[in-house]
Structure 1
Amino acid sequence: MSESGDWLKRGAPSLGDMEAMAEEAYARLPDEFRALCGNLVIRVEDFPTDEVLKEMEAESPFDLLGLFQGIGLAQGYETVAGVLPNMIFLYRRPILDYWAENEETLGDIVTHVLVHEIGHHFGLSDDDMERIEEEADR
């Protein structure tokens, strides 16, 4: 079957498919970058909750591709008792919408969202995050 024929039997990646993609992307990130996060949990949801949309002042459920919630090691994560694990939420439908409108691969978008959600939370520069993404591609 030709490559274009393969698409005839494919659907959009499920929540589980995208979660596996995100876990693989996270595993490729540099160790020192992952160390910022503590025990990170990656969750994939179709859309952000109404509460998150309101808090982030989003105009549409498609405005957010991901969100970091938690406290990093630099902010004392390991010293705070009873704190939930750090979490990254990836929003499947907005990511798929972005993918459909751009020339990037889905894997590159997922990696980009992961790196930027973690990086912005810890105050990394765009140059730092770009370097981390390049290291993940090796």
Structure 2
Amino acid sequence: MSGEVDWSGLRAPGLVEFEQLAHEAFARLPELFRQRCAGVAIQVADFPDDEMLDELGLESEFDLLGLFRGVGLAQGGDPALLQTGQMPNMVWLFRRPLLDYWAEHDETLGHLVTHVLVHEIGHHFGLSDEDMERIEAAAGEDDRSQ
């Protein structure tokens, strides 16, 4: 059958590939949005740590796909004015929960990573859901054939 995928040689992306996928998703976001993200680091880990789970009152490490940590612009944070000892603003993406979610839903992994990335960065800016949907659409991620 033409166009059939040979799944026998495919594997889930590891941390390095997942980080590359996240950076590619970020690069597709509108330029103005990316410029305003100066100082926000993107980190990928297999799972959130216990501190993150406790902070959010979550019991399972599979309950969290991504997390913004830091002082967002909506809370008066300015990445150029980091306080002594203050960690830079970070967006965390959690590979294993994202892969689990992906396996259970009808969307591409690229779309899912972009969605979570935009949502978490949206916390930094204090954006509405409608604003985040427009940014995702501008990134071209509504095409689920990727």
Q: Give TM-score scaled by structure 2 length.
A: 0.85
Q: Which residues of structure 2 form unaligned runs of 5+? A: 142-146
**Aligned match of 1:91:** 94
Corresponding position: 1:125 with 2:142: no
Q: Give every structure 1 segment of 4 or more consecutive aligned residues whose post-TM-superposition deviation is greater than 4 Å.
A: none
**Aligned match of 1:107:** 110
Q: Which residues of structure 1 form unaligned runs of 5+? A: none
Q: 1:41 to 1:80 in 2, by over 3 A?
A: closer
**Aligned match of 2:57:** 57
The whole-number CA distance in structure 1 between the counterparts of 2:77 and 2:20 is 28
**Aligned match of 1:78:** 80
Identify, as 1 or 2, the structure richer in helix: 1
Residues 82, 88 of structure 2: 8 Å contact kept? no
Residues 43, 90 of structure 1: 8 Å contact kept? yes
Q: 1:4 to 1:76 in 2, by over 3 A?
A: closer
Residues 37, 72 of structure 1: 8 Å contact kept? no
Q: Please, which moves more after superposition, 117-126 or 49-58?
A: 117-126
Residue 123 of structure 1, CA deviation: 1.6
Q: Please, which moves more after superposition, 31-40 or 107-116?
A: 31-40
Q: Give TM-score scaled by structure 1 length.
A: 0.89
The whole-number CA distance in structure 1 between the counterparts of 2:83 and 2:59 is 36
The CA deviation string for residues 73-102 of structure 1, in whole angstroms up to 9 with x for no partner, is: 552221234443221110001000100010
Alignment-mate amino acid for residue 102 of structure 2: W
The whole-number CA distance in structure 2 between the counterparts of 1:56 and 1:45 is 17
Q: Percent identity, aligned pairs only?
A: 57
Alignment-mate amino acid for residue 53 of structure 2: L
**Aligned match of 1:116:** 119
